[in-house]
């Protein structure tokens, strides 16, 4: 496993891995308590990414984003039922290879107008602006922030709720 995320209320957990090339969906009978997880289903992303590392959703769960090191891109999927990976369909991708050839994780700001990608090649966080919220085809590179003096192999990033703090692992 290389990536993990939850739905908004913590009753669903999603695990992605670099070997299985799929998103594994679990129900949690107690919100955010992984000991109560039960496997529901999986969704293969192998047609787009064979070494998936990061996963996230838009706010309402109708879009899923997967990033990995094989394609060096962000793959966007539509979900006809929110947070149900069995309803996912591939839409398009956005290459981040010009900035990062080993992308490991992805995050968005709250309104989906900014996308952040972290990886091993530059040891930095790359910021992109999206002219249409949560539509990676409208992304354009803005700038990066180096984290190499703190971490030479960054694997993940997250922000607090108002975006004033960034966390890198």
Q: End-to-end distance of the chain based on CA atoms, in angstroms?
A: 15
Over residues 138-151, the mean pLDDT reads 96
In this predicted structure, the answer to whether residue 18 has a pLDDT above a threshold of 90 is no
Mean pLDDT of 107-131: 96
Q: Give the containing element (helix H, strand E) for 43.
A: strand 37-44
Pairing of strands 124-130, 114-119: antiparallel
Q: How far apart are CA 149 and CA 111, in angstroms?
A: 30
Give me the pLDDT at residue 20, please.
Answer: 85
| Report field, pTM of the whole predicted structure over 0.95 | yes
Q: What whole-number distance in Å separates Cα of residue 56 and Cα of residue 24?
A: 13
The mean of the pLDDT values for the chain is 96
The 8-class DSSP code of residue 153 comes to S
Mean pLDDT for the stretch of residues 82-97: 98
Distance CA 140, CA 119 (A): 18
Could you tell me which of 6, 2, 8 has the C-alpha nearest to residue 118? 2
Q: How confident is the model over 19-77, as pLDDT tens digits?
A: 889 999 999 999 999 999 999 999 999 999 999 999 999 999 999 999 999 999 999 99
The yes-or-no verdict on residue 122 having pLDDT over 90 is no
């Amino acid at each position: 496993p290389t990536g993990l995320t939850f739905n908004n209320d913590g009753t669903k957990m999603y695990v992605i891995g670099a070997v299985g090339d799929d998103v594994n969906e679990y129900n949690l009978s107690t919100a955010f308590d992984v000991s109560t997880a039960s496997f529901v289903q999986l969704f293969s992303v192998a047609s787009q990414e064979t070494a998936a590392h990061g996963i996230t959703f838009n706010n309402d769960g109708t879009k899923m984003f997967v990033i990995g090191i094989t394609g060096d891109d962000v793959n966007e999927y539509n979900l006809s039922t929110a947070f149900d990976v069995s309803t996912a369909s591939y839409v398009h991708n956005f290459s981040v290879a010009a900035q990062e050839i080993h992308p490991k994780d992805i995050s968005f700001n709250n309104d989906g107008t900014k996308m952040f990608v972290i990886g091993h090649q530059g040891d930095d966080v790359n910021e992109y602006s999206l002219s249409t919220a949560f539509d990676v085809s409208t992304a354009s590179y803005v700038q990066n922030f180096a984290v190499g003096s703190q971490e030479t192999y960054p694997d993940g990033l997250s922000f607090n709720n108002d975006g004033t703090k960034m966390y890198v692992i």
